[in-house]
Amino acid sequence: MEAGETPSGGLGAELDRIGSAVDAGDTDLSRLGFWRVVALIKRDDELIDRYAEQVGRIDQDAFRARVRLRIPVWAGNALLLGEAAVGVLAVILAMKYASANPGQPPRVELISGLALLLAAGTWAIGLHSPTHWLVGRLVGIRFTDYFLGGPPPPRPGLKTDYSTYLRAGPMARAWMHASGALATKLAPFLALLFFAATDAGAWARLVLLGLGVVLIVTDVLFSTKTSDWKKVRRELAVARARQRVHARGT
C-alpha cells in the first residue's frame, strides 16, 4: 500500500490485520503499514471518531510488548521536575554565596558560573518532557508511561495515549511536540537571566550562549529529521492537507 492510498479491504480490515500481527508478537508497526493507515485516518474527523480507539489500542499493545522498562507518568514527572529543582536550588545558593562573599571575586565567579551551568543542564533535561505533558494535557492529550528511548543517546520519553492524540487535532499535536523542544532550547538563556545576580565570570556567559547555539543548531540538523521538529512538521502538513480538503468542500 502506497502512502495516501486507501487499502482495498478498507481501513477497518487493515487495522484488524495489523492488530492480529501485533497480538502474534510482531511489533514493527512501520513494516506492518500501521503508520500509513494512521496518516489516512488523520485526514478526516469521521475516520478519527471511528478508528481512534482501535488505533490507540494497537499502538499501546505494540509499545508495551517492545518497551519493558516503563514507569508511571506521575513518577517520571516527579523525577524530572526534581532534577529541574536542583538547578533552581543551585542558582539560589549561588546568589546567596555571592552576596555573602563580596571580597572573594575569583571564587565567587567560579562557583556562580558552575551553578548557572548546572541550572542550564538540569533545566534542559528536566523541563523537556514535563512541558510536553503540560501542553498535551491542556489540549486534551493523555499519556501512559515514561520510558527511555529516542535517537541516541537514550533519554526520557513520554508515551502518548494515541486515541486522545488523534482526537486533539493536528495543530494541538504540533504545539505539544514543539513545547518540549522549546523548553530545552530556552534553558541556557533562562540561566543567563541570573548572570548578574550570581556574579558569575564572563566565561560562564560565553559557555551558556554557546550551549544555547549548539542546542539550536542540533535541532536544525537532527530534530527536523528524527525527533520533535520532524513531528511538528508532520502535523503541520496534516493541518494544511485538511484545510485544502475543507476548502474544496465549501
Dump pLDDT digits (tens) for 222-237: 766 778 889 999 999 9
Closest CA to 83 of 134, 120, 133, 112: 120
Residues 57 and 29: their CA atoms lie apart, in Å, by 13
| pLDDT for residue 154 | 73
Which amino acid, residue 79?
A: L
Question: What does the pLDDT read at residue 5?
Answer: 54
Give the separation between CA 127 and CA 180, rounded to whole angstroms: 7
Q: What is the tens place of the pLDDT at every residue in 120-131?
A: 999 999 999 999
What pLDDT was estimated at residue 2? Answer: 46
Q: Which residues of 77-100 are buried (b: 16+ CB within 10 A; e: fewer)?
A: beebeebbeebeebbeebbebbee
The pTM of this model reads: 0.88
Whole-number pLDDT of residue 155:
80
Q: What are the grid coordinates assigned to 47, written together? A: 475516520
Q: At what angle do helices 170-192 and 128-138 cross, to 10 degrees?
A: 140
Q: How many helices (H) and strands (E) does the chain have?
A: 13, 3
- Determine the pLDDT at residue 6: 55
Buried/exposed code over 175-212 (b: 16+ C-beta within 10 A; e: otherwise): bbbbbbbbbbbbbbebbbebbeebbbbeebbebbeebb
Please name the helix (run of DSSP H) or strand (run of DSSP E) that holds residue 149, with its range, or none: strand 143-149
The C-alpha atoms of residue 30 and residue 248 are separated, in whole angstroms, by 31
DSSP state of 221: I
Positions in the chain whose pLDDT score sits under 50: 1-3, 8
pLDDT of residue 153: 67
